[in-house]
Structure 1
Amino acid sequence: MILKPTAGLAAIRTLVLFASVYALLLGTPARAEDEEDAPAYPTTEFADGATDASVTDSGITARVFEERRPKVDPNLDVPVLQVSVGGQQVLEYVGVASGMDVPAASASIVEIDPANDAKEVYFSSYTGGAHCCSQIVIADKTAKGWVTVEVGSFDGDGFYLQDLDNDGVAEIVTVDNAFLYAFDCYACSAAPLVIQTVRDGKLVDLTTEPRFAKNHRDWLKQLEDDADPATRWTSPGFLAGWVAQSARAGSGKAAFAALQQHWNLAKDEGEETCLTGGDIDACPPSDRKVLNFPDRLKLFLDRHGYSL
């Protein structure tokens, strides 16, 4: 199944596998390694009707289970990750309840942080909500012991691991959720690629590293190929993500110039915007200004680190 960026990554909304999409797009190993759709990394998830599962690799065991933790939620079971090394528990992480009858949680053992002497545990649990969310946490061994690093919550099934540069170390590949809803409805928005990792217990953004330049160009091409020609220059949700991804691919100035050339300013009445980036309802009158879409987008891009 191919992602449809012009539909606001609508395929994500139906819980399409991000990893498989990026594999098709970027030419990297897919999550499925064989006809049985086996994960590319040692992975466990709940079998039908089960609420406990585990996987062991390289001396590490990751156990995921559902359990009532009254201090976390007195009414619902919550997903729990336990990590053991050599039979001794080194870490426990308690997630949030999803409110679903069928629990959705998984754990993978994978090399993410090459600076230490152990693989990492990638934990995903579904939190529920409209268009949302898989909560991603990485268990990482540091000099001070094992720690959890919260990556964030993203649309989709939760499996965002890809070895983009084929160096044996996996990256966490998602999109910038800030673009969804920013200028149009969720189903009308596109979003640029985000590449992250974990180093020594800290979340690190790799998005702008030169080694991923081709990945950004490929994702830009995917956005452009899937754009609806009839609405390409009238859809602010698509254009915002497209210009941002163009910036990542090295063609931001040209993309923004094309937007200015094609955008119909005569039909753009503008929208009151807080120039400081704050909520418009709490914005003082001196910081408010009515801006057309191109100007609002430029302000948004600057604020979120997309240099044209």
Structure 2
Amino acid sequence: MHLDNNVTEFILLGLTQDPVRKKIIFVTFLLFYLATLLGNLLIIATIKTSRVLVSPMYYFLFYLSLSDSGFSTSIAPRMIVDALMKKATISFSECMIQVFSSHFFGCMEIFILIIMAVDRYVAICKPLRYTTIMSRKVCGALVAVAWVGSCMHSSAQLFLALSLPFCGPNVIDHYFCDLQPLFKLACTDTYVINLLLVSNSGAICTVSFVMLMFSYVIILHSLRNHSAEGRRKALSTCISHITVVVLFFVPCIFIYTRPATTFPMDKMIAVFYTIGTPLLNPLIYTLRNAEVKNAMRKLWSKKMMSDD
């Protein structure tokens, strides 16, 4: 850590400084966050307790909901509380924790989405060998790789943040601690560090997005040989996955793959993948999935019966 670091806290400007708008933001995002937690925890509970949802797809969906809950929790609660403050401050160490946790869960989500695409590819293109390829052992190993990869990625981001010297202004024009807004405050030339960021976060986002889109093209192409019913079912699953992927990756790529400039609209775009995607994932994956809905009903009716 740098010795010329005399900044002990940062001031977060949030999405707006307007007192009326801040109240609207407080109510809106509190509702969004509660809905996100409720939706994702409901999926986690349903998959954990259901005897029907045992296929690899649900095993990965469990971890997607877990990373969504974590990702949302690393950003939303702070933003909601800050909306009530006249001046929102965050200590240096809390800021670093937020950099680490948001990148950890965000990266985890990316890896899980890739694994889910692989799972769909095997299910649709190699149906006869599906159970042997996607064995319990393989699924466990894939998730373990996702955990380790996310940890490596977020540690690298944290290292970049800690290597910056802060000696002057401490006002972050954002609603959470991320590297781009921090770069603007560093009293050093951040060109090289920004290149490292683009080659890390930017590359992860872009390469993953291209891989995912490519895999879905292959999947959709192979659907021609399926029956109408099989096609409809597979299409329904794939379209929901593609929706999530586009909503999450497009804003990410926009923010992490360009030179060191920040735009006023960055904050609004960040809302998409930090608040929007974790909220939409449970909706997209469950409302389009009859098995999950049935399992949730069973879980609910069991709870009702036990309450009686």
Q: TM-score, normalised by structure 2?
A: 0.24
Structure (1/2) with the larger helix percentage: 2
Structure (1/2) with the larger strand percentage: 1
Q: TM-score, normalised by structure 1?
A: 0.24
Of the two structures, which has the highest relative contact order with CA contacts closer than 8 Å and spacing of 6 or more? Answer: 2
